[in-house]
Amino acid sequence: MSVPQASLRAQLWRRKPITPAAVTSSDGLERSLGTFTLMMFGVGSTVGTGVFFVMHEAVPDAGPAVIISFVLAGLAAGLSALSYAEMASTVPVSGSTYSYAYATLGEVVAMGVAACLLLEYGVSTAAVAVGWSGYLNQLLQNLFSWQIPTALSAAPWDVDPGFVNLPALILVAMCAILLIRGASESAKVNATMVVIKVAVLLMFVVIAFTGFHSDNFADFAPKGVAGITAAAGTIFFTFIGLDAISTAGDEVRDPQKTMPRAILGALAIVTTIYVLVAVSALGTQPWEEFADPEQGEAGLAKILQDVVGASWPGTILSAGAIISIFSVTLVTMYGQTRILFAIGRDGLLPRAFARVNPRTRTPVNNTVIVAIVVGLLAAFVPLDYLWDLVSIGTLIAFIVVSVGVVILRRTRPDLPRGFKVPGYPVTPVLAVLACIYILSGLHWYTYAWFLLWLSVVLAFYFLWGRKHSLLQRAIEADLVHDEDLR
């Protein structure tokens, strides 16, 4: 007897039901994370990229008005964070925006969102690991007057080409080993590193203000509103940490209360640090100097050395950057593995992605696969020009969450919500509009690359994923049962 098939439309738009069992189950993962450690996940994967790398990319676009770009990106992220907080308290499971989209907008949309998330986490992890080499070499130069040779610290297609970026590869491997050991261990290490890097950045602010010159802000917005918007688009990907918090839903104690608190707390800390560092850094030198190639590798360390006229502040900052970038790489890799875990659990990827080691309570196979792919990208491909590609994924994910809040309020008003968006429905609408405005500042080729990647993921879904979906199997089982009754 042939198995009855659900219609294609029914397959594409089916939604994952939100049941008490789905919310309380962790499918083998251990619920070990509390509010502070989860908040540090958000800060750990956000603070670092925004100040250690993106200043070099964003300031040439906006000039001193990059401060407004940071505030604009923070405002859009803040509005979206309120939606994240409500969704995280309503659907507190792993998978972040993918899981939220699956519950509110349907399976095909969820796979499109999964494409955004896999892109933003994969590329940002590899790109941040690449940047680790610059600060490591800066530290080695200051301490030992020696650097890792270019052949072993640069990709073959870099501006100054090498053979392999070995430090980036080693960093990814260290993060993978830590993640395999367990989420609780990773969270504790990350929390320690976050405290250190926040202290180092506050040191930067204090020292940089001693060399502050208000004249550096005279030409405040040299490229006008377009430059501010473009810089905000580049900066926005750094707020990926808010999404990273929501990837941990299956490993959080009392997720309905813990996740909203962690998301909003991380946002407040991150935005404050960004603005302080941006203002103090811009006050030390003309904005044109941020385009200097040297500013890209270890920019903040170089700024401190110029202000003080000695190498020791730069040495401390480089050490702090190494710790900071380690924590960013650790948390973004964690987010990538948990999203793949959620997709595999739903049957849209092979089941191996959702298999949990009974001893460590972590998805080991999943983590190894992510480490191999990200490690190869970091070791051999120069990814620093792909920041905007990460931003587009983050922005679309934030839009989906805000839309999902509105849909879930209408379709499931009965669900318990540990947090509700204030000013509903105006706040989610403003979040969507803010994200669309920032999207408008991205380059056309960013959209071209994004659409190419989205096409690849959706092709996989149509050819394999939709046929193996657990919801598809459940629907087929119901159809067989109904036919037997006839």
Percent of the chain with pLDDT over 90: 13
- Does 373 score more than 60 pLDDT? yes
- Per-residue pLDDT of 271-319, as tens digits, reads 888 888 888 888 888 888 877 766 555 567 778 877 887 778 778 877 8
Strand partners, 148: none
Angle at alpha carbon of residue 422, lines to 120 and 264, rounded to 5°: 45
- Does 383 score more than 90 pLDDT? no
- Per-residue pLDDT of 64-79, as tens digits, reads 888 888 888 888 888 8
- DSSP, collapsed to helix, strand or coil, labels residue 22 as helix
Angle at alpha carbon of residue 335, lines to 443 and 99, rounded to 5°: 85
- Per-residue pLDDT of 162-201, as tens digits, reads 888 899 999 999 999 989 987 777 778 888 888 888 888 8
Q: Domain range spanning residue 433?
A: 31-480
Assigned domain for 422 exists: yes
What would the mean pLDDT of 105-117 be, rounded to a whole number? 90
Residue where the block lists tokens 């100054």: 160
- Per-residue pLDDT band for 1 (boundaries 50, 70, 90) equals very low
Q: How much helix, strand and coil, in percent to the nearest 5, is found in the chain?
A: 75, 0, 25
Average pLDDT, the chain: 81
Report the domain count for the chain.
1
Assigned domain for 1 exists: no
- Does 38 score more than 70 pLDDT? yes
Assigned domain for 486 exists: no
Assigned domain for 21 exists: no
Assigned domain for 443 exists: yes
Assigned domain for 2 exists: no
Q: What is the pLDDT of residue 219?
A: 83
- Per-residue pLDDT of 442-463, as tens digits, reads 888 888 888 999 999 999 999 9
Give which of 409, 435, 437, 413 is closest to 423, Cα–Cα: 409
Give which of 125, 115, 54 is closest to 397, Cα–Cα: 115
- Per-residue pLDDT of 124-153, as tens digits, reads 888 888 878 777 887 888 888 888 988 888
- Does 42 score more than 60 pLDDT? yes
Residue 119 belongs to domain with CATH number = 1.20.1740.10
Assigned domain for 16 exists: no
Assigned domain for 296 exists: yes
